[in-house]
Amino acid sequence: MSLRQWEIQMKSDNYKKIAVVTIFAIAMAFLETTVVVYLRKLYYLGGFDFPLKGFIEPWVLNIEWVREFFTIVMLASIGFLAAKKFYVRFAYFLYSFAVWDLFYYIWLKVILDWPASWLTWDLLFLIPLPWVSPVLAPIICSLTMMTLGLLIICFEDKGKKINLNAREWTFLIAGALIILYTFLYDYSNLIIGGGFAKEFFNLATNSKFIEIISDYIPASYMWGKFIIGEIFIVTSIVLFYIRVRKK
């Protein structure tokens, strides 16, 4: 086999991997959506909206935490199986996570005609406490993750040496932490500001906390901080692209 034929075969293999990972993530998103549809039928008969239901059986919450944890395990496993090198595994994880998250909202729209708009508030995650934001925020995050993931895969396909240096990691992690702060702020503020931190593991049965969240409706999102976080992450991606492309 000539060098050219080997390069074509390598690229073909990568396209197949991306296609398989995409199909897996889309199918997994559908399963995630069906679970959410069932939960909404059980707890939000009139359609999901804030405030959150104050009391949900603790064992149901425990199952949800475990389910969400294993969702991440499944996506990480796909990255592990798709490649042998750390950064390429990381790239496939980012890509699969992004496709899964994007199609989760696509399936919700198809099945429930929800969300009503890009700015509809959603409950994103429950570990270790509720993450909330308008739908547009996680969609932007997913598109950013997909960009970085595909960029790493493409560079690897061209035989580039892939790594993020200390500066790029710093921008990436700082941006992620800023965005995470915007997701966690509302309910962490209720817990810490309300003096419930010491009762964290018993909040599901704390009547006073249940009363508070049963009336709480998120009103404003920290778009300014979110944009700063995105700028940090995009800066990391641009620095990585310029540095690796020059090699």
> pLDDT (tens digit, 0 to 9) for every residue of the chain, 247 residues total?
454 554 444 566 778 899 999 999 999 999 999 999 999 998 998 889 999 987 788 888 889 999 999 999 999 999 999 999 999 999 999 999 999 999 999 999 999 999 999 999 999 999 989 999 999 999 999 999 999 999 999 999 888 889 999 999 999 999 999 999 999 999 999 999 999 999 888 888 889 999 999 999 998 999 999 999 999 999 999 999 999 998 7
**Predicted local confidence at residue 205, as pLDDT:** 86
Neighbours of 155 (CB within 10 A): 20
241 by DSSP, 3-state: which?
A: helix
Q: Alpha-carbon distance 169 to 143, whole Å? A: 19
Task: Indicate the pTM of the whole model.
Answer: 0.92
Please give the torsion angle defined by the CA atoms of residues 210, 212, 215 and 216, in that order, rounded to the nearest 10 degrees: -110
Q: Alpha-carbon distance 200 to 84, whole Å? A: 40
| Contact between residue 148 and residue 9 where contact means Cβ atoms under 8 Å apart | no
> Residue written as tokens 């997913």?
142
**Predicted local confidence at residue 199, as pLDDT:** 87
